[in-house]
Structure 1
Amino acid sequence: MVIKLENVGIAVRDIEEAISFFVDLGLEVAGRDTISGDWADTAVGLDGNHAKIAVLKTPDGHGQIELFEYLHPDAIETEPTAPNEIGMHRVAFSVDDIDVALATAARHGCYPLRGVANYEDVYKLTYLRGPSGILVMLAQDLTKTERR
């Protein structure tokens, strides 16, 4: 059996806000749609499933996320995931310049949870809260970029 990761799905409060954030970080919109119908009810397991969706991909084409904003049934608000909670955790991105990525995130009101860590002069990395409370990890590989 062959298996490959297609994407990671993330429910959001406001799909336009989330798209803007991820596009500004460098992802590209691969497609958008509104889904509903029997097939969507069956696939997702929700009666009356109706959602706006957008698939975004990394410029290298190796990673994708699927954002969805529920129109029906109503989205359920929960507390944002903490870094040590069981379950879906975060989405992580490699960036070539973490300072530029953090400046971009800040324009969306998104800041590191605590700061930027330096892991043995190999990585600079941080977790931040993105749109809808999504945990986003940004990491810069210092072995592949000019040391700062």
Structure 2
Amino acid sequence: MSIHMENVGIAVRDLDEAITFFTDLGLSVLGTDEVQGEWAETAVGLDGNHARIALLGTPDGSGQLELFEYLHPAALETAPTRPHEIGMHRVAFRVDDLDAALEIAARHGCHPVRGVATYEDVYRLTYLRGPSGILVMLAQDLRGA
């Protein structure tokens, strides 16, 4: 059996805001849709499932995010996951210029949770809260890779 990572799905409170944030960081919109019906209810396991979705991809094609905003049932607000809690932890991106990425994030009101760290002269990295409280890791490879 072979296995391939298809995407990471993240529910957001405002799809347009999340699309703008991630496209400003460099991802591109691969497609958008509105899904509902019996197939969606069966696949997700949620009666009345009706959502707006957007599939975003990285420029090199290595990863995809599926963002979805629930129209029905109403989305439930939860506290954002903290780094040590069980569950969806974070989405991570390698960037070629961390300072430029942080400037883009700041224009969206998103700032490092604590600061920028350097890991063994290999990475400069930070966690920040993106739209809908999504925990986003941005890392710059200091080895020039």
Q: C-alpha separation between the residues in 2 aligned to 1:67 and 1:124?
A: 27
Partner of 2:24: 24
SS at match of 2:22: helix
Partner of 1:100: 100
Q: Percent identity?
A: 74
Q: C-alpha separation between the residues in 2 aligned to 1:20 and 1:137?
A: 17
Matched residue count: 145
Large movers: runs of 4+ above 3 Å:
none
Any stretches of 5+ residues in structure 1 without a counterpart? none
Q: C-alpha separation between the residues in 2 aligned to 1:21 and 1:123?
A: 23
- Structure 1 residues 50-61: aligned runs within 5 Å: 50-61=50-61
Task: List per-residue Cα deviations over 1:37-70 (Å, max 9, x = no partner).
Answer: 0000000001110000000000000100000000
Q: Cα distance, 1:11 vs. partner?
A: 0.1
SS at match of 1:102: helix
Amino acid at match of 1:126: T
Task: List per-residue Cα deviations over 1:94-138 (Å, max 9, x = no partner).
Answer: 000000000000000000000000112110000000000000000
Q: C-alpha separation between the residues in 2 aligned to 1:108 and 1:135?
A: 14
Query: What is the RMSD of the two structures over their aligned residues, measured on CA atoms?
Result: 0.6
Any stretches of 5+ residues in structure 2 without a counterpart? none
Q: C-alpha separation between the residues in 1 aligned to 2:133 and 2:119?
A: 25
Partner of 2:123: 123
SS at match of 1:24: helix
Partner of 1:142: 142
TM-score by structure 2 length? 0.99
Q: C-alpha separation between the residues in 2 aligned to 1:31 and 1:5?
A: 18
Amino acid at match of 2:61: G
